[in-house]
Each structure stands twice: as structure tokens, then as C-alpha cells.
Amino acid sequence: MTMRTDSTESLRYPRRRIARALLRGGARLLIALLTRLKVRGMENFPRSGPVILAGNHVGVMEAVLMAALSPRQVEFLGTGDIPIDPTYARIVDAYGLIPVNRGNLDRDAIKKSVDVLRQGGVLGIFPEGGIWDPAHMDAQLGVALISQRANAPVLPIGFGGMRGALGSALKFRRPHLEMHVGQLIPPAALPEGVDRRQALQEYASLVLARITALVPSSELAGQPEELNYRFSLQPDYQSSESSQPLLADKRGQVFARLLFSPVLLDALHRNLQLPVGVWINPPANVSSADFTAALNAVLEYLEHNPGFFTYRFGVEQGLELARALEDLRDILANARAVGGTLRLSASSQARFADGRSEDYSLNFAITPQ
């Protein structure tokens, strides 16, 4: 990374020209060989001047297509709060990105993004801020804040067929992919007398709505309209609180949401290397020690990155989840003290526009041994 020492620009654009040219060229070749790609709206890409490319996000292929097919080099704003998946880490390191500590106000990432745009550059961003709950996430304010500060328009892009696409491509199944480029959205503005945060949120929501309108209808049909979670934790021993839920309903429901969030669990397990494997496809019997170790590890991580869950689940549910982890730790300690077993049941129900529903459940015992 090349840094400037003056106060107005801290990141040069473009950078890593040779490495990025090689990676983009290789990506274009592999896309042609390993996928069946349909692209429309390429004429909407501005040939000069600052622009923010904003797309929907369910995997890694959106960034690959954005980088490979853009007529100009793209500088990406990407994850900085968790390590990159080891599968892609070398490629990401070679290309480079602007790391952002999601869930916390990362002034350095915002400044570098604005720097790129003020030099007439292209910034790639995914306004939902992650892939843990596609189609059920609010737009993050970052795209609006950066657009307003850099006076840069936003180019919405809708992707389709991305879920599992990389794995299919690597198995030579040539998945069908779509990339639809929309019309430019003028830069975000903050008129006098308006609430700043509200104006930025409205702009971010507009960007996300324009992206969603470009996503193929078949892709949207595969996303549930409603998600509901249930949770129960019952003792197999006499307890003075046996008639009351051991874990408050709201906290139980948000913990169930975590249990049915494979992307988040994978990030905790693979990227952060926390011992939460007992929450991923748990066996019929889980030891209290292993379950408690998972709780302790996540709570310790939250001390260093308190915004991890509030960013992903919203402030209210994120805080409730942190409290749920603390409560569960105390409940397990009490059960262990009397040699008792706890029965955990959790379920998830997804409802779709066509009337379909998908139900999933987990049932296992947390034993003192």
C-alpha cells in the first residue's frame, strides 16, 4: 500500500497496477471458461470521474465480477474486523483492499475511501455490509456517508446466481450468473435543516432499493419473506426456577438466530478460530465444558470488538445476544454445580412469498460431563 504523507490524501489511486491487472485478466479468463455469464447495462459504467460501485452480496463472486468486468480498476472496501477466509486470503492480500472495522466508526477506512474518490477513482462496496442474512438486512450508512463526503455518484449493480457459484465453477459445472448494471444515482446531499442521520439512512436505503430492483426475480424468490425463531432450555433436574424459562424469551430467540446463522458461525469458527464447533451440527450430547468454552471465547472476543453482533443483528438484538451469552454461562455453571443436564431445543421457520415454508430444528442435551 502506498501512503501519502499530506493531510488530504492517504491512499493513492490506482495502486498495485501490475498485480491487479494480472488478477483481473486471470479472473476474466476463468469467468469465460468456468461460468455462463449474462451481463447487461455495461454502457452505464462512467469512463471517468469518481464513482461508487454498489451491489448485493451473498458470496465472493460478486466482488470477482465487479473487479474483473469494470472498465477501470476497482478499490474495494472490505472486511477488517475478522480475518479473511484462508481459502481466499492470498488472492485478497495480493489484490489489496481498504479494511473496515464493521460495527464501529472506522474513520480511517472512510477517509481512505473518500481519498480514492477525490482522485477520480472507483470504489467497490456492498451496502448491506456482509452476507450473513441476505435480503433481511438494512443498508448500512457507509455508502451514503462516503458518497456525500466525496460528492461521488453511486452505480447500483444487481447480481444473480451467486450462491454457491464459486464451488460450482471450480467443479466445472459452469453456473449461470447474471450481472445487471443500473443507472447512476446522484451523490448524497445533506440539505440545511434536515436530520443528518435520517438523510443518510434514506439515501442508503435508496441505493439498496435500486440494487434490489436489478437483482433477477428468480434470485429474490429464493429469499424468505419472514424468519421466526424459537428457543427452549429445560433442566432434567429439580430447580427452583423450573416453572420459569431459564433464558428470557427475547434472548433465547436471538441465540436461536445465531445457531441458525451458518455464515456467522463459520466466521466465528474458521475466520476467528473460536471454539464454537459445538454449535455447528451439535451431537446429541454436548459437554457443559465445551459449551461454556464457546460462550467464554465469544464473550472475550466481544470485549475487543463490541460491535460484532450489533452490526449484524441490529443494536437491540445484538445487545440481547451478548446478554444471552452471559446468562447461558451462568445457567450452565448452576447446572454443573448440581450435576444436572439441560435440554436445548431451537427451531427456525422461513416463510416464502409463494406460501412455502422451511423448518429446521436442533435438539441436544448439555451434560455435566
Sorted by where each begins, the domain ranges of the chain are 17-221, 226-367
pLDDT above 80 (res 313) = yes
- pLDDT at residue number 4: 34
Give 68's pLDDT tier (boundaries 50, 70, 90).
very high
Percent of the chain exceeding pLDDT 70 equals 92
Are 357 and 351 within 8 A, CB to CB?
yes
Q: Which residue has the higher pLDDT, 87 or 165?
A: 165
Whole-angstrom distance, CA of residue 112 vs CA of residue 127 = 17
Beta strand segments in the chain, E: 36-40, 51-55, 74-79, 98-100, 122-125, 154-160, 176-181, 226-235, 285-287, 342-351, 357-367
Give 136's pLDDT tier (boundaries 50, 70, 90).
low
pLDDT above 60 (res 2) = no
CB proximity list for 179: less than 8 A, separation 6 or greater: 37, 38, 39, 40, 65, 69, 157, 158, 159, 160
Closest CA to 169 of 36, 57, 64, 68: 36
- pLDDT at residue number 226: 85
Question: Per-residue pLDDT averaged across 311-337, rounded?
Answer: 92
pLDDT tens digits along 211-238:
999 998 877 777 788 889 999 999 987 7
Residue 108 C-alpha cell reads as: 480511517
**Ramachandran region, residue 313 (left: φ > 0; alpha: ψ -120 to 50; beta: rest):** alpha
Q: Which residue has the higher pLDDT, 84 or 328?
A: 328
Of 62-76, 90-104, 276-290, the least confident: 90-104
pLDDT above 80 (res 357) = yes
Question: Per-residue pLDDT averaged across 252-275, rounded?
Answer: 93
Give 105's pLDDT tier (boundaries 50, 70, 90).
low
- pLDDT at residue number 239: 61
pLDDT above 50 (res 298) = yes
270-275 CB contacts, 8 Å cutoff, 24+ apart: 270/85, 270/86, 271/82, 271/83, 271/84, 271/85, 272/82, 272/83, 272/301, 274/298, 274/301
Are 176 and 38 within 8 A, CB to CB?
yes
CB proximity list for 144: less than 8 A, separation 6 or greater: 188, 199, 200, 201, 203, 204, 207
Question: Per-residue pLDDT averaged across 33-50, rounded?
Answer: 96
pLDDT above 50 (res 170) = yes
pLDDT tens digits along 42-65:
999 999 999 999 999 888 899 999
- pLDDT at residue number 103: 65
- pLDDT at residue number 3: 33
pLDDT above 50 (res 10) = yes
Whole-angstrom distance, CA of residue 95 vs CA of residue 75 = 9
- pLDDT at residue number 244: 61
Are 207 and 125 within 8 A, CB to CB?
no
Question: Per-residue pLDDT averaged across 20-32, rounded?
Answer: 97
- pLDDT at residue number 97: 94
- Enter the CATH code of domain 17-221: 3.40.1130.10
Of 37-41, 126-130, 250-254, 359-363, the least confident: 126-130
Dihedral sign, Cα of residue 332, residue 334, residue 340, residue 345: negative
State which amino acid sits at residue 53.
Answer: L
Whole-angstrom distance, CA of residue 58 vs CA of residue 100 = 18
Give 84's pLDDT tier (boundaries 50, 70, 90).
confident
Are 124 and 96 within 8 A, CB to CB?
no
134-140 CB contacts, 8 Å cutoff, 24+ apart: 134/56, 134/57, 134/58, 134/223, 135/220, 135/223, 135/224, 136/223, 136/224, 136/227, 138/205, 138/208, 138/314, 139/201, 139/204, 139/205, 139/207, 139/208, 140/102, 140/204
Length of the chain: 369
pLDDT above 60 (res 279) = yes
- pLDDT at residue number 362: 96
Are 102 and 307 within 8 A, CB to CB?
yes
Whole-angstrom distance, CA of residue 51 vs CA of residue 42 = 14
- pLDDT at residue number 15: 95
Give 199's pLDDT tier (boundaries 50, 70, 90).
very high
* Kind of pairing between the strands at 342-351 and 357-367: antiparallel
